[in-house]
C-alpha cells in the first residue's frame, strides 16, 4: 500500500468513531414521534452530565455567545480532548450532553476536522430558537478550536 492510500485510510479511520456516535444520536432521536418527546429526552440527557470541576466556574471558562450561562474547560491528554461543560439551562445542558457524547475523549485531529451532522440529522437546526442555535454553534466552535490547537501542539 503506498503512503497516499495509507494516509487516506488513516484519515477516514479517525472519523469513524465520531461518525458512529453521531449516527447513534440520530437513531436515538428517531425513536420519538414529536418534538415534545425529543425535548424531554434532551433534558434527561442534560441531567446526566458529570459534575463540573469547581475550579473552572469562572469568567475565563464562561462560553461567549450563549444566552444561558455555559462553562467549558478542555484538556488535551494523549492526543485526545477531554471536555468538561455545564449550563444553568436544562435544554442547553442536553445540547452539551450531545456534544460530549460525540466529541469527549476523541482525538484532537478527528474533532478538528469532523463534520458535525447530528444537529441536522435529528432536526435540531430547525427546532431550536435562534439564541439556542447560536449558543450551540459557539459551543461546537469552541470544542473544534480547542481540538485544533491541541492537534497543532503535537
Alpha-helical regions (H) of the chain: 3-30, 35-46, 90-103, 108-113, 118-121, 124-127, 130-152
Read off the C-alpha cell for 83: 471536555
Element (H, E) at 73: strand 70-77
Q: Which of the residues 18, 25, 63, 66 is marked catalytic? A: 66
Contacts of 140 by beta carbon, 8 Å cutoff, 6+ apart: 99, 116
Q: Are 81 and 150 in contact (CB under 8 A)?
A: yes
For 41, 50, 68, 101, 124, the CA distances from 35, given in Å and listed in that order, are 9, 25, 21, 20, 10
Could you confirm whether 66 is annotated as catalytic?
Answer: yes
Quick one: DSSP state of residue 60?
A: G
**Catalytic amino acids?**
66
Amino acid at each position: 500500500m503506498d503512503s497516499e492510500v495509507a494516509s487516506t485510510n488513516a484519515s477516514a479511520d479517525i472519523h469513524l468513531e465520531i461518525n458512529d456516535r453521531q449516527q447513534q444520536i440520530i437513531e436515538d432521536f428517531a425513536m420519538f414521534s414529536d418534538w415534545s418527546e425529543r425535548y424531554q429526552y434532551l433534558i434527561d440527557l442534560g441531567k446526566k452530565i458529570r459534575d463540573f470541576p469547581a475550579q473552572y466556574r469562572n469568567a475565563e471558562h464562561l462560553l461567549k455567545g450563549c444566552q444561558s450561562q455555559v462553562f467549558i474547560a478542555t484538556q488535551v491528554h494523549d492526543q485526545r480532548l477531554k471536555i468538561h461543560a455545564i449550563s444553568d439551562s436544562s435544554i442547553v445542558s442536553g445540547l452539551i450532553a450531545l456534544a460530549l457524547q460525540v466529541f469527549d475523549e476523541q482525538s484532537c485531529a478527528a474533532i478538528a476536522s469532523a463534520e458535525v451532522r447530528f444537529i441536522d440529522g435529528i432536526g435540531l437546526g430547525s427546532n431550536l430558537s435562534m439564541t439556542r442555535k447560536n449558543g450551540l454553534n459557539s459551543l461546537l466552535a469552541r470544542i473544534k478550536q480547542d481540538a485544533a490547537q491541541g492537534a497543532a501542539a503535537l
